[in-house]
Chains A and B, each alone.
Chain A
Amino acid sequence: MGKTVLIVDDSATMRQVVSFALKDAGFEVISAVDGKDAIAKLGVAKSDLIITDLNMPNLNGIELIKQVRQTPGHKFTPIIMLTTESQESRKAEGRQAGVSGWIVKPFTPEQLLGVVKKFIR
């Protein structure tokens, strides 16, 4: 049974890129357009890993991470955040909220997979 990744981004482009790379590597992918959508999806579908953007309408990334950690069954789910710059403050903020790792945009599919495989197989 393949692992399922939830990609949360308000940019259709990013959702497309991430999901393409992950499906190529054999993962199931579900998408959410913002934090609120993500919480809703978590309620109905299994997710083994969450990749989320930080700047989103209707519940931003940091808030989403905090909420996911409170959601039953997702206390230990790995969460990767997408950042635009290597901003230490963002990382610390994410870490505080319970993020597992991050990747800096722009990235290649290989780089994305390299990070994802640190958390799930």
Chain B
Amino acid sequence: MKGPEDRHKEIFREEANELLSELEGSLLELEENPEDGELVEKIFRAMHTIKGSGAMFGFNEIVSFTHELETAFDHVRNKKMPVTKELIEITLSARDILREMLENSAEGVGDNERAAQETLSRLKRILPGPLKTEAENSRLKDEKEKENEKIFRSSGDPVTYRIRFRPGRDIFKNGINPSFLINELMTLGDCLVIAQIDSIPAMDEFDPEACYFYWDFVLTTGQGVNAIKDVFIFVEEGSELKIEAVDEGDPGKPADYKRIGEILVEKGDISAEALKEALSKHKNLGQILVEEGAVPHGRIASALVEQQYIREKRKSLKEAEAAASIRVPSRKLDILADLTGELVTLQARLSRFSIAENNPELAAIAEGVERLTEELRETIMGVRLVPIENVFSKLKRIVRDLSGELGKEIALEITGAETELDKSLIEKLGDPLVHIVRNSIDHGIEPPDEREARGKPRRGTIHLSAAHSGANVLIQIGDDGKGLDAEAIKAKAIEKGLIQHGTELSGNGLYQLIFASGLSTAKEVTKVSGRGVGMDVVRKNIDALRGTVEVESWKGEGTCINIRVPLTLAIIEGLLVRINEEHFVIPLSMVEECVELIRGANEGQNGKHIANVRGDIVPYIDLRELFGIGGPPPEIGQIVITEADGKKVGFLVDQVIGENQTVIKALGGTFKQIDWISGATILGDGSVALILAVPQIIKWMENRETERAAFRAE
């Protein structure tokens, strides 16, 4: 079967052969009558036709060869070259070569190269000017390709263009109907057309064959400005075509668009001065401009339409962007996380069971389930993670406003704003951070003059940073202010009975007292020490997140508050411990180390348990005692040493089982008052383990010590 291409080629060969036969006759005749212009014309046309038609089907050899002959006869035609015997001879042999080329191309062979080259070099010798060089030929070819290429389009991001097309008056006389061009333009994308009619003259001056219309378009297309130019490729002369990109389609831009006056000035429809004058009259701008005759009504309409159009475009872009993400109530995410937790638990049971069964198929299934569950858990945790930036940016505003209010110069430096943590944590961190930053501004950073007097830069700095550290996020709020006043804190603490007179506290240990409730609420302390308002509230908030907060301070140099919170509230890395039949989980982030305790060694000084850890005295709590668990204690117990709020406290247990990924379940409302326990988790075998709230237990223990001490003192 032959396609249309093959049929076309066949016709071309037939036609070319016919032309070549005629060419022979014409050449012989021309030899007799070298001055016969008609004959020259005919020969030229034959060459031209063979070249032009041959090019349609890729007969490149024939095309380039004929091109040179055509050039020669073009010269003859223009009387730049005489008809000579030699020319006739060369052309005749060229004709024979062409015929061979045609036949060979049909048979798929071609070896006319040498003969063709010989003929061409003979022809070159008799031509008045040099033949066109290869480079020139290829340049011409490129141009040609470029021209036709214009019809093809590329596509990219949609851009909105403002186009004015003002055809020449006599455009109809060239057979061009602008409406087809407008239709073509409209196929490029979303397009608004505004016809301008202000150039239509009065009836007696009206030429029905002239085009008085012109058009404004607002077009959104991804095909680029060249596609637009291609539409108007044949009307460039005598017509006006203005194409400007007015909106890059950036979804980040506000849906609001330029004001009408701006558009008109930009389009050159009105001068900036005229606009200013009109604006000063405080009337509807478009109306004024029309009344003034500053700009015709159609132009205003056009600008209005553009404004409206782009506003809508931007709005729909925003909507599209919003559609790319969905809003889900966080409660649903909580349920999802909960269910995943159940699944993790169930999967742990499956894994245990499969190990016990020693069934390879079951083991494979269990492994698969384990892998998927792990992925699911991570994905769900990931969904809840948001960058801390949200909180930090809120602080920017506070620093700016408050420092201005207090006449202080403060720069805010932020690092690690991209650090992600659980959404619920982010929400709960907001208030404490605001509090700390306010304190830094209010009491930490000195006024500029004071700073200068102390040899510090006038401008103070508050540094906010966030970074992951293991399963925790470390948030630091530092300032280069005057630091905490240790003496004032000490005095106040003694006054409030928080510490006893003569108690030696290391610098940082003393500073932690600012988080104690009795101290911080007192207003006058604030004035003396400069710090501490509501710091107990900060601590309470952070405790609730199972986090820790510490303060470091250097007199005259600044203060830094370190907050550590777990990445997520739903899952913690825990250390699983056992007392008799009961299991407990201690958050791993607080665990320092585990040591063995040989019973009877260091027990019960004043009812306190004290362990000796490499020479350090560490108080410990016997969990068996604390929770009233029965059964005989083992010979050798284990103490899990934890650190919270800069204090080390141990927990005595029967056995440390190991690390455990713990999915936290909230305890019901019934257990709300029990602040030793922050939650519960379900173990692989289905039993429940309680999660210890370490800081709260330590605090309770301290209070008890203080009470006992007070009791003893009485």
Chain A residues in contact with chain B, CB under 8 A? 10-14, 16-17, 20, 53, 55-57, 69, 75-79, 82, 84-86, 95, 98-108, 110-111, 114-115, 117-121
Contacts and interface: CB of A to CB of B under 8 A. Distances in A.
Given A20-B8, A78-B176, A104-B144, A114 B151 contact: yes
Contacts of B671: none
Contacts, number: 112
Contact of A104 (B42, B148, B183, B231): B148
A91 to B, nearest CB: 9
A117 B180 contact: yes
A119 to B, nearest CB: 6
Interface in B127-182: 140, 143-144, 147-148, 151, 172-177, 180-181
A95 B237 CA distance: 9
Given A17-B56, A100-B234, A105-B55, A11 B180 contact: no
Interface stretch (B43-51, B262-270, B600-608): B43-51
B57 to A, nearest CB: 8
B11 interface: yes
A77 B174 CA distance: 8
Given A10-B49, A11-B53, 16 more contacts: A13-B11, A17-B53, A20-B4, A55-B44, A75-B209, A77-B175, A86-B147, A95-B174, A98-B173, A100-B234, A103-B148, A104-B147, A111-B148, A115-B151, A119-B176, A119-B180
A13 B15 contact: yes
9 contacts: A10-B49, A12-B14, A17-B56, A82-B52, A99-B174, A104-B144, A117-B180, A118-B180, A118-B233
B185 to A, nearest CB: 11
Contacts of B53: 11, 13-14, 17
A78 B174 CA distance: 7
B593 interface: no
B563 to A, nearest CB: 66
A120 to B, nearest CB: 7
Given A12-B11, A117-B184, A100 B174 contact: yes
Given A17-B56, A100-B234, A104-B148, A75 B140 contact: no
Contacts of B49: 10-11, 13-14, 55
B118 interface: no
Closest 10 interchain pairs by CB? A78-B175, A100-B175, A13-B53, A101-B234, A106-B55, A114-B151, A13-B12, A11-B49, A106-B56, A12-B15
Given A13-B12, A105-B56, A121-B183, A98 B174 contact: yes
B52 A14 contact: yes
Interface of B: 4, 7-8, 11-12, 14-15, 41-42, 44-45, 48-49, 51-53, 55-57, 140, 143-144, 147-148, 151, 172-177, 180-181, 183-184, 209, 231, 233-234, 237
Nearest to A114: B151
A84 B52 CA distance: 6
A114 B176 CA distance: 15
A20 B11 CA distance: 13
Contacts of B7: 16
Contacts of B177: 76, 78, 119
Nearest to A95: B237
Contacts of A76: 172-173, 175, 177, 209
Given A14-B52, A55-B44, A105-B52, A98 B175 contact: yes
A21 B712 CA distance: 110
Contacts of B148: 103-104, 107-108, 111
A103 B44 CA distance: 21
Given A20-B8, A95-B237, A115-B151, A85 B183 contact: no
A100 B42 contact: no
A57 to B, nearest CB: 6
A118 B181 contact: yes
A103 B279 CA distance: 51
Nearest to B12: A13
B144 A110 contact: no
A101 B233 contact: yes
Contacts of A114: 151
Contact of B45 (A57, A82, A103): A57
A85 B144 contact: yes
A15 B389 CA distance: 70
B173 A10 contact: no
A42 B207 CA distance: 27
A14 B174 CA distance: 24
Contacts of A11: 15, 49, 52-53
Nearest to A50: B175
A79 B288 CA distance: 46
A20 B7 CA distance: 11
A76 B618 CA distance: 104
Contacts of B231: 118
B175 A119 contact: yes
Contact of A13 (B8, B42, B48, B174): B8
Nearest to B187: A117
A59 to B, nearest CB: 12
B172 A84 contact: no
Contacts of A103: 148
Nearest to B13: A13
A113 to B, nearest CB: 9
A61 B209 CA distance: 25
Nearest to B4: A20
